[in-house]
Amino acid sequence: MHIKKAAVIVGGLALIAVLGVYLGFALHYQDTMLPHTTFAGVSVGGMKVSDASAKIKSATLDKQYTLTDQGKTVSTFTGNAVGTFQDVGQDLAALQKQQNPWAWPIAAVGGEADAADNGNTHSLKLNQKKVQTFVDQTVAKLNQGRTQTTNASIAKKDGAFVITKETYGTALDKTKVDHLVTQMVSTGQSAADLKETYVKPTVTASSAKLQKDLADLKKLSAIKGTYSIAGDSVTIPQQLIKNSVYYQNGQVSVNPEVFTDYLAQLAAKYNTIDRKRTFKTTNSGTVTVPAGTFGWSIQQSNEAQALADTIKKGADFTRHPLVSGSGQSFTGDGVGKTYVEVSKAKQHEWVYIDGVLKISTDVVTGKPGQDTPSGAFFVWSKQRNATLKGLNDDGSKYASPVSYWMPIDYTGVGLHDSPWQTKYGGDWYKEHGSHGCVNTPPDVMAKVYSLVPAGTPVIVY
């Protein structure tokens, strides 16, 4: 009986002793780090925040870190190089506060991760400006003489597009080196290999986009194009189209400059502006008239771009070139069957609408010295109740109101009614001619104005 009682007393004392030890350490860890706590690779278990902070600063600032490449040391540096000067006390205090001092036995056996209330990243917050400066200088030095990484791409060889494979170089990627250095110092990692920081290709030969681009390039190179121009069907040289297709910066493109000389040749052959024109008159045979306002020209620069854009659509095509000017029918000489004809010699005017003679009238053209210009013109505007202004022979100004005004060139020459004229045709123009316009009887001019639309050719000879 006494033995049992003694055992109970001893057991109780032992429990009290264990409890005392437990409580003592729990109180001790109220303001110190739990066992096995590490920060930036430095052991700070059982240390107060102030002591741990001093130890971490000393260890990280003076610690030497090593970068290796292909088995060789290529760079060494200390924590000072990347500026680990910040006060870690605040971070340590926060970590210590999160730890559960009553769980110190678990920490003593299983490490701090088991004793913390929640997971923590126990690493230094580096001075990123100093890290970047160090990395920039180090990478610039180490990259000298290294081979460059290249992406897979598409090139033209022997006239055909082929995929060129990617190449793997040894040049360093600054972003990756920056990340590696930061990781080393902030976690206390003494050494690291640079192999994983090599620049890697972002496009490989098996890339789906590259395969599609290759197919598109081949398709565009085989496109057939035709111009419909002035009644002709002109085949665009297929080799020219093929030469225009290229690949750059990962993009399928068509170079409009390839067509510059070709379009200049087409313009020289087909442009009608600034070109003499043969014209079959009503009763004076065939005449040749100088260039006037009527006619068109290929917009070579704009057409080159438009042609490139058309090719890039990826289908065979027929198109009219972009042109400027008038008479853009692209058939024959462009005069067509609706036009106004003026004979200065006969002092007569004819109006044809769809090939049918609608008006035949005597007129008065410019008096000698102010002759109505010969040429191929067109009605570029129509205006009711206009006032024509200019200078008389003696230099005085005139202002002549007219009911119908249809200018045909850009110097003030046009068709209009002339109520002041008492006679038309014959030699009347020699003494009573206009300042260059085609004076038409008022009642006839009303019909001309009604029948002739803007854009109609006017041939004067």
State the CB neighbour count (10 A cutoff) for residue 446.
14
Burial of 293 (0-12, 13-18, 19+ CB in 10 A): buried
Cα separations in angstroms, 249 against 56, 151, 256: 49, 10, 17
Q: What is the CB neighbour count within 10 angstroms for residue 75?
A: 19
- Our answer to whether residue 28 is catalytic in this structure is no
Whose CA is closest to 379, among 289, 287, 448, 439?
A: 448
d(CA 285, CA 168): 79
DSSP 288-330: EE-B-S--EEE-HHHHHHHHHHHHHT-S-EEEPPPEEES-TT-
Q: For residue 266, give the nearest of 225, 235, 311, 295 by alpha carbon.
A: 235
Task: Answer yes or no: 437 catalytic.
Answer: yes
The three-point CA angle 414-417-422 to 5° equals 125
Angle between helices 49-62 and 89-98 (to 10 degrees): 130
Dihedral sign from CA coordinates of 69, 71, 75, 81 = positive
Residue type, 126: L
C-alpha dist (Å) from residue 346 to 343, 371, 407, 426: 5, 14, 21, 7
Judged by DSSP in three states, 55 sits in: helix
Q: Which one of 36, 122, 348, 416 is the catalytic residue?
A: 416
Provide the sign of the torsion angle of the four alpha carbons 79, 81, 87, 93, taken in this order. Answer: negative
Which residues are bridge partners to 153 per DSSP?
Answer: 164
Active site residues: 416, 437
